[in-house]
Chain A
Amino acid sequence: MPELTATRPESRTGRRRALPKLFWALALTLGAAVMLFPFLWTVITSITPDGTLASGPTLLVEDPTLDAYRQLFDAMPMWRIVANSFWIAIASTLFQLITGAMAAYAFTRIAFPGRQAVFAVYLATLMVPLQVLVVPLFIQMTRAQLSDTYFALLAPSIASAFGIFLLKQSMESVPRELDEAATLDGAHHLRIFAQVVLPLTRPALATVAVFAFMGSWNSYLWPLVVIRSPELMTLPLGLATLQGQFTTQWNVVMAGSVVSVLPIAIVYIFAQRYIIAGFAHSGLK
C-alpha cells in the first residue's frame, strides 16, 4: 500500500476509483483470455505433428507442422466447401433482403384486400420450426430429383418470415408523409420503395442481413439431410463429415475447424460493430 498523502480525502476517492478500474480491467481481460483460449487451442492442435497428440497436449509445439492441413485438403475439397459456404450465405442473404423488404413494403404500404389474413399466414410460417419441415422437405426435394443440389441447399432460405416481420416493424415507423409527398409527385410504388422507404430502413436491413448470413453460414441440419456429395457441402457439414473420417486425428479435425472459423472471424473483425448492433437490435424490438 502506498503512503497516505496530505490530501487525504481526495486521494481516497481517487484510489477508490482507480482500484476497481484496475480490477475490472484485469478481470475482464482474464475472462476474455479464457473465452478465447479454445480458439488458440484449436490453432495449436492443428500444427501439432500426428504422433505427439496421443502423449497428451502441450502448449508449446516442439516441431510445428502444416501436415494436418495437407491431410485435410487431400481428404476434402476444402476450397470448394469454403466457397460454397460463402456463396450460399451471400445468396440467401440477398434473397432474404429483397423478398423480405418487398413483402414488408406490401404489408405496410399497399392497402390490398385480405392483407391481415395474408400476414397471419406469413406469421404462422415464422413459428414453424425447421424440424417440422425437414422430413417433408427432404421428400419433396427427392421426388423432384433436386436432392443433393445447390438448389435444395438454398431453397428454404430464399425468404424468411422472421426477416419480413422485423422489416415490417421498421417500415411501420417510417413517416407516411414522406411517401404521400412522393405519391403527389407522381412516383409509383417501386420508386417509393426503392428511393424513400428502403434507405430509411437501413438498420433493420443490416440486422436481417446479419441473421440471414449467420443462419446460412452455420446451418447444419438441412445440409446434413439433403447433401451427400462433398463438392456440394458447406463448412459445418464438411467438418462433421471430416470428423467421421479422422475420429482420433484431432490435429486434422482442428485444422478443419481453423479453416472454417478463419473466414467468418475475418468478416467479424471488419464488421464487428454492425454484427453486434444487429444482434442487440433484435432484442430491443
Chain B
Amino acid sequence: MSTAPAPVASRPRSDPRAASPKRTNTRRRGWRTLGWALLFLLPSAIPLTAFTLVPMISSAWVSLHDWNLISPMEWVGLENYRELLADPRTWDVFANTATYILGYLPLVYIGGLGLALALNRAMAGIAFLRGAYFLPVVTSWVVVALVWQWLLSPSNGLVNTVLGAIGLPEPGWWTDPTWAMPSIILASVWKDLGFVMVILLAGLQALPQEVLEAARVDGAGAWRRFWHITLPLLSPSTFFVVVISLINGFQVFDQVNVMTDGGPAGATQVVVGQIYDLTFRYGRAGDASALSWLLFALVLVITAIQIRGQRRWVTYA
C-alpha cells in the first residue's frame, strides 16, 4: 500500500514565519501541538503497540528459534524457514488453501454478481429479499460450519436423505477426502454470497445511468450492455471483492477447524490450521511463527501484484 505524501495545502506553514522575535512563541506552539497529538494518538498507539507491534516483532524473533513454549529458546537463524520450504507438508497446506480459494472465489463472485443484478430492481419487498440473502453474512463462521456439517452429515443429514430419495449417490461430504473441501467451499459460499452481493449492488447503483441509457438508445442489447458497459464500470467493486476475498481466503480457518479440523487425513488442512497445530499440538512455536510469516509474505506479494495489475482491467469512471 502506498502512502501518498500529504497535499501541500495541509502541510504546517510555520517555517517561513519562524523569524527571531516570535521564535519562543512558535516553540511553545510546537510543544502544544505535540501535546495535542499525543493526547489524540495515545489511546490507539498504546494498544496497537502492545497488542500488534510488539507481538509482530516477537513473532519474527521467535521464527528464528526452535521453541516448544516451555524450555528456553534455541537460536537457529533461518533454519525454520528452510525446513518448512523443504517439507512437502508445507506445500500441501498451501495447495489446500489454494484449492479452497479457487473453488470459493469464482462461485461467490459469479453468484454474488448474479444476485446483485437480479436484486437491482424496484419491486415490492425488495429490501426484505436483500435482507434475506444477507442474513448468513451476520451469522458467525462457527454456526455456519455446524449447520452445514449437519446438513451434509453422511448418515442422516438432509442433503443425503434427499439425494438418496431421488436415487442419486450419497457422498461422504466432510468425512470423505474428495468431498471435504467442496463441503467447506459450499458452506463458505453460502455465508459470503450476501456480502459480495451488497458490495456489487452498491457498485451497480453508483453506475452512471446516462451511459447505460445511451447504449440502450443506440440499440445495444441487454447482453452487450452488460458485457461492455456494466461489467467494466463495475470493475472497481469487482477489484475490491477479489482483493478482500483473496486476503480472507488465505486466512481461512474457522469453518475448516469446526467442520473437518483439517481432516480427513489432512485433506483440508489449511495454512492457518497448520500454524495452530504446530503451536498448540506439536509445540513447535518457531516453525509456526515462520509459517505465519511465509503466509503473510505471500498475501502481501499477491495483494501488491493485484494493486499493480489493476491498471489493466479496473476502470475508474
Q: Give A contacts to B, CB under 8 Å.
A: 21, 24-25, 27-29, 31-32, 35-36, 38-39, 41-42, 45, 53-57, 98-100, 102-103, 105-106, 110-113, 115-116, 118-123, 125, 127-140, 155-156, 158-159, 161, 164, 176, 189, 193, 214, 217-218, 220-221, 224-225, 235-237, 239-240, 243, 250, 253-254, 256-257, 260-261, 264-265, 267-269, 272-273, 275-276, 279-284
Contacts and interface: CB of A to CB of B under 8 A. Distances in A.
Contacts of B134: 272, 275-276
B235 to A, nearest CB: 12
Contacts of A239: 140, 142-143, 146
B66 to A, nearest CB: 14
A136 to B, nearest CB: 4
B280 interface: yes
A272 B131 contact: yes
Given A131-B275, A132-B296, 18 more contacts: A35-B132, A35-B190, A105-B40, A106-B37, A131-B272, A131-B292, A132-B56, A133-B52, A135-B59, A135-B62, A140-B55, A156-B51, A161-B48, A217-B140, A240-B258, A261-B139, A279-B199, A284-B203
Nearest to A25: B123
B183 to A, nearest CB: 13
Interface in B44-81: 44-45, 47-48, 50-56, 58-59, 62, 69
Contact of A243 (B45, B47, B146, B275): B146
Interface string B82-121: 0000000000000000000000000000000001001101
Interface stretch (B6-14, B171-179, B213-221, B306-314): B6-14
A29 B131 contact: no
A125 B52 contact: yes
B199 to A, nearest CB: 4
B62 A136 contact: yes
Interface string B3-21: 1011000111000000000
Nearest to B131: A272
Secondary structure at the A interface, as helix, strand, loop or mixed, is helix
B201 interface: yes
B226 interface: no
Interface residues of B, number: 97
Nearest to B53: A125
A189 B199 CA distance: 35
27 contacts: A28-B118, A31-B115, A32-B132, A38-B151, A38-B190, A54-B156, A102-B43, A106-B36, A106-B40, A111-B11, A120-B3, A121-B53, A129-B295, A130-B251, A136-B58, A136-B62, A139-B69, A155-B50, A156-B51, A159-B47, A164-B44, A218-B254, A239-B143, A276-B130, A276-B134, A279-B198, A282-B199
A238 to B, nearest CB: 9
A44 B157 CA distance: 13
